[in-house]
Amino acid sequence: MIYDLPTSVKIDGKDYEIRSDYRAVLDICTALSDPELTDQEKILVALSIFYPDLDEIPPDMLEQAVKKCFWFIDCGEISPQKKAPKLMDWEQDFKHIVAPINRVCGREIRLAEYMHWWTFVAFYHEIGGECLFAQIVRVRDHLARGKKLDKEDREWYRRNRELVDLKRPTTTEENELLKQWGGG
């Protein structure tokens, strides 16, 4: 069990400072879902956001640096190999997550100069009840599992489909094509 909130990680016996604020990790999540970037570019961007002194990490330790980055993002847990359905997107859903997190932590998180990622995630896990975000995730979960929505949920989904459906990021090339077709 980890009681501390890490602000550095150990790689090959040496401590490296990390950007542990929740905003840095959300920036990493945005980069990792950017369709314009190759997988290698996504990793490089993630590492450059996460490690302020990335150039000090020896090249032969970069694989370990990637593992430590994802260990941190997963709040010190080892991610299960089984892929669960995607029920939320930090970038798309952030505006719906802020209010319930503010309620849970008792303050406006966007005004906080610093909030550790693990603290932010702990607040996130306490979201529940009848808030809009909980409703969005509940409907997404039903749809992902192939469960039938009851009449009330079907009606709510019909009215709020743009909130529920996860948007697939489009490339600049795809956006240009949509504009040519009159859809963008």
Q: In the structure, what pLDDT confidence band is assigned to residue 130 with cuts at 50, 70 and 90?
A: confident
If you count them, how many residues does the chain have? 184
Q: Which pLDDT score, from 0 to 100, does residue 119 have?
A: 97
Could you tell me if residue 42 is inside a domain?
Answer: yes
Supply φ then ψ for residue 106, to 5 degrees. Answer: 75, 20
Q: Which pLDDT score, from 0 to 100, does residue 2 have?
A: 73
The residue to which tokens 């996504």 are assigned: 42
Could you tell me if residue 174 is inside a domain?
Answer: no
132 and 158 assigned to the same domain: yes
Q: Which pLDDT score, from 0 to 100, does residue 95 have?
A: 94
Cα angle at 92 between 90 and 97, to 5 degrees? 60
In angstroms, the CA 138 to CA 146 distance is: 12
Share of residues in the chain with pLDDT > 70 (%): 89
Could you tell me if residue 78 is inside a domain?
Answer: no
What 3-state class would DSSP assign to 8?
strand
Q: Where are the alpha helices (DSSP H) in the chain?
A: 22-32, 39-50, 62-73, 90-105, 117-125, 132-144, 151-159, 161-164, 172-180
Partners of residue 15 on adjacent β-strands: 10
Q: In the structure, what pLDDT confidence band is assigned to residue 184 with cuts at 50, 70 and 90?
A: low
60 and 126 assigned to the same domain: no
57 and 94 assigned to the same domain: no
Q: Which pLDDT score, from 0 to 100, does residue 161 have?
A: 95
Determine contact, residues 30/90, Cβ cutoff 8 Å.
yes
* Distance from the first to the final alpha carbon of the chain: 49
Question: 160 or 130: which carries more pLDDT confidence?
Answer: 160
Residue-number span of the structural domain to which 103 is assigned: 90-164
Share of residues in the chain with pLDDT > 90 (%): 80
What does the mean pLDDT of the chain come to? 91
113 and 143 assigned to the same domain: yes
Q: Which pLDDT score, from 0 to 100, does residue 78 have?
A: 74
Q: How many domains does the chain have?
A: 2
What are 149-172's pLDDT values in tens digits? 999 999 999 999 999 999 876 666
What are 29-65's pLDDT values in tens digits? 999 999 999 999 999 999 999 999 999 999 999 999 9
51 and 111 assigned to the same domain: no
69 and 96 assigned to the same domain: no
Residue 7, sorted as left (phi over 0), alpha (psi -120 to 50) or beta, turns out to be alpha
Cα dihedral angle (166, 130, 73, 26), rounded to 10 degrees?
60
Average the pLDDT over 137-156 and give the result: 95
Q: In the structure, what pLDDT confidence band is assigned to residue 128 with cuts at 50, 70 and 90?
A: confident
Cα angle at 54 between 34 and 93, to 5 degrees? 30
